[in-house]
Amino acid sequence: MVKVDDVQIPDDLLYNETHQWAKIENGRVRVGITDFAQKQLKEIVYVELPEVGDEVSQGDEFGTIESVKAVSELYAPVSGTIVEVNEALEDSPELINSDPYGEGWMVVIEASNIEEEKENLLSADNYAEIVEKELEK
């Protein structure tokens, strides 16, 4: 686990610069937003996620997240097909605040090009550098 101030950054995940995490599980990728992102958003009140079967491309928007503070886009860390959506977030979007790396996951993507695309993602240490820069602002 890497920590920057009070931000938790698990070192077994990959990250993109837009603050989504990716956990590779047998060719599938579980996706959510990082601890840093949920702390910046504050109280999350609504999440709009894609449907199972939707196709996504790495770096493209796949949904939105709304908080009392802002509306933010969610970007796919990998390309592929949405095979699971966390339905619990419909009624309890605050799960993202309380457990961003666990119960607050958003979607699972059946990755179409994981070996190549994971090269575009960040390690925990590299993501921590981005968080440090953001906190300095």
On whether the pTM is more than 0.75, the answer is yes
Q: Are 61 and 93 in contact (CB under 8 A)?
A: no
Return the CATH number of the domain spanning residue range 2-132: 2.40.50.100
The C-alpha angle 49, 29, 4, rounded to 5 degrees, equals 90
The ranges assigned to domains in the chain are: 2-132
Strands 28-33 and 107-111: antiparallel
CB atoms within 10 A of CB 4: 17
Q: What is the pLDDT along the chain (137 residues), one digit of tens a residue?
A: 999 999 999 999 999 999 999 999 998 999 999 999 999 999 999 999 999 999 999 999 999 999 998 999 999 999 999 999 999 999 999 999 999 999 999 999 999 999 999 999 999 999 999 999 999 98
For 62-101, give the DSSP string: EEEEEESS-EEEEE-SS-EEEEEE-THHHH-TTHHHH-TT
